[in-house]
Amino acid sequence: MLLDACRTQRYSTHDDVIRRHLDRFDAKRPQASFLDRMIYLELRQRLAELLLMRVDKMTMACSVEARVPFLDHEFVRLALAVPSSL
């Protein structure tokens, strides 16, 4: 995630941004596994700003329609409910 001017004033590095998200997550789920923490970060940070934006730009540039079926909120809830020990 790129830091805009407003965020640059609040955070000195990207680690500060990630730390804030992880602190919030750890407060809700202190016993969460490493995998759960990484999935949370992926959903909160990289997915929307990096991956989805790239898919959108690339498909528009080529006049192609793309779908992201695995981002249906019910499917994501189901996937997150699967124990990380599996």
pTM of the shown model: 0.60
DSSP string covering the chain: ----HHHHHH-SSHHHHHHHHHHHHHHH-TT--HHHHHHHHIIIIIIIIIIIHHHHHHHHHTT-----GGG-HHHHHHHHHS-TT-
Question: Tell me: the pLDDT tens digits for 34-49?
Answer: 888 888 888 887 887 7
Mean pLDDT of the region 45-61: 85
Q: Band of the pLDDT at 86, cuts 50, 70, 90?
A: confident
